Amino acid sequence: MNRQQEFVLRTLEERDIRFVRLWFTDIQGFLKSVSVAPAELEGAFEEGIGFDGSAIEGFSRVAESDTIAKPDPSTFQILPFESEQDGSLSARMFCDITMPDGEPSWADPRQVLRKQMNIAAEMGFTCYVHPEIEFFLVKSTETNGETPVPADTGGYFDQAVTDDAPFFRADAINALERVGISVEFSHHEAAPGQQEIDLRFADALSMADNVMAFRYIIKQVARHNGVRATFMPKPFSEYAGSAMHTHMSLFEGDDNAFHDPDDELRLSKTGKSFIAGILEHASEISAVTNQWVNSYKRISSGDEAPRSAAWGASNRSAMVRVPMYTQNKPASRRVEIRTPDSAANPYLTYAVLLAAGLKGIKEDYELPAPAEGDVARMTARERRAAGFRDLPNDLDYALREMERSELVADALGEHVFEYFLRNKWREWYDYQAQITPWELKNNLEF
């Protein structure tokens, strides 16, 4: 038993923890959990916890259903919520999913991201990520298909608003900090009920774990405040959707590989090729970074959501932005990818973004000219004339692009690639089969 495992067992005893929740994520990004008593944890460290993988979306076939969850002691945290029954505490750990022979599961999103991080490490890089996560607070999510009601009437950076949860952000930040998730900023976003919380940078795998924990904790804090939180990309037709703007950087040891003090933008050749890789493969990775039918309502509406594979310095209408706040600070040189939304699977999203950027570096992609104006306000003809390729504007288009992509197939692995496509095509066909209120309102008289 290693020191981390010993620390976990000792903490459970000292803090009188009653249950430990072992967390993992399915291919779509839904959080899964199994609770174990502390007395069983030593065995779980040694042998893992067996479960029926065929019962989890995309994990395994019935004939190969034996699957094992092995808790990662480095992710141990005591949850910030006490039991309503007896006030007892519980803890959680993320798990790596393996097969009975000990080999990593081909369906585990954590393993998909870890593979890309290992490729980066072979090239001498460590990838760091810093997401800006937007979401809505609404009075209820049980609306029977009707539009929800925002929990407040606030706007961008509003300090004081009349709402149903005035202490939500303070409670949320306290809860996040208690489980080791460092928060950099928080504020009210532009739409009524819309919030943004930015997490302090961490390596890509740790951050993907943090995003999964973030979504769980935010929903719990919202409930405790008498409202509900939703990470649906665009729940309101009249307001901007919720993004997960993702800042990425590569470090070589202690040195930021994206920084060049002699460049006008302080952006190195490595950083430029990384951006070029993401732009080149933008349409192919779109179905992963924006995985839901609803995701494309946000993309097609504009409102600072990127429509084309373009980049710019400080340009929030571009897909990739080079922030210029602290351009002379080497450690801060990074790129911001603005396509991902808050309902993406963070493991798969970071994996395909990293894969695209690394391919740009490996193959020395050339970065095109930056976008100078507001790309969102350009017509399609103007965007084509400027050399910008439009991003997919619906899930059907995105899936067709993904099906042709060797990069995404390699990044996700055959099993996840095939299952993801199969699952998302089913979602698209189900969506197409619906008769919407808009159609009935506009076509019923014919």
pLDDT at 56: 66
Using alpha carbons, select from 191, 321, 213, 334 the residue that is nearest to residue 268: 334
Residues 120 and 94 in one domain: no
**Residue list for the binding site for L-glutamate:** 298, 304, 316, 338
362 and 427 assigned to the same domain? yes
Asked if 162 contacts 173 with a C-beta cutoff of 8 angstroms, the reply is: no
CATH for 186? 3.30.590.10
Q: Domain for residue 2, yes or no?
A: no
Question: Within this chain, do residues 184 and 295 fall inside the same structural domain, yes or no?
Answer: yes
Torsion angle in degrees (nearest 10) through CA of 339, 344, 346, 347: -110
| Whether residue 230 is found in the same domain as residue 246 | yes
User: Residues 368, 305: one domain?
Assistant: yes
Choose the final residue of a domain: 74, 107, 140.
107
Residue 64: its pLDDT value, please?
Answer: 42
Residue 272 domain-assigned (yes or no)? yes
State whether 99 and 124 are in the same domain.
no
Considering the domain architecture, whether residues 260 and 122 belong to the same structural domain is answered as yes
User: Do 157 and 36 belong to one domain?
Assistant: no
- What six digits make up the tokens of 304? 């600072």
Query: Are both 86 and 128 inside the same structural domain?
Result: no
Which residues are documented as binding site for ATP?
A: 184, 247-249, 316
* Residue 1, token pair as written in the block: 């038993």
pTM: 0.94
- The residue from 85, 107, 129 where one domain ends is 107
Confidence of residue 62 (pLDDT cuts 50, 70, 90): very low
Give the residue, 385 or 139, on which the prediction is more confident.
139
Average pLDDT, the chain: 90
399 found inside a domain = yes
User: Do 331 and 414 fall into the same domain?
Assistant: yes
Q: Tell me how far apart the alpha carbons of residues 53 and 429 are, in angstroms, rounded to a whole number.
A: 26
Q: Are residues 74 and 216 in the same domain?
A: no
Number of domains in the chain: 2
- Cα gap 19→306, rounded to integer Å: 44
Q: Tell me the per-residue pLDDT of 80-138, one tens digit each, with 9 for 90 and over.
A: 987 766 668 899 999 999 988 888 888 899 999 999 999 999 999 999 999 999 999 99
Tell me the three state secondary structure of residue 160. coil
Structural domain contains residue 4: no
In-domain check, residue 6: no
Q: Look up the domain containing 433 and give its range.
A: 115-441
Q: Write out pLDDT tens, residues 134-185.
A: 999 999 999 988 999 999 988 887 775 657 788 899 999 999 999 999 999 9
The neighbouring-strand residues paired with 194 are 136
CA distance linking residue 351 with residue 250, whole number of Å: 14
Which residues does the annotation place in the binding site for Mg(2+)? 132, 134, 189, 196, 245, 336
For the chain, the maximum distance between any two Cα atoms, rounded to a whole number of angstroms, is 73
d(CA 36, CA 46): 14
- How, if at all, do strands 194-199 and 126-138 pair? antiparallel
> What CA–CA distance (Å, rounded) separates 30 from 24?
9
Q: Which value, to the nearest 10 degrees, does the dihedral of the CA atoms of residues 417, 343, 352, 128 take?
A: -150
Mean pLDDT value of segment 208-216:
98
Residues annotated within the binding site are 132, 134, 184, 189, 196, 245, 247-249, 298, 304, 316, 336, 338
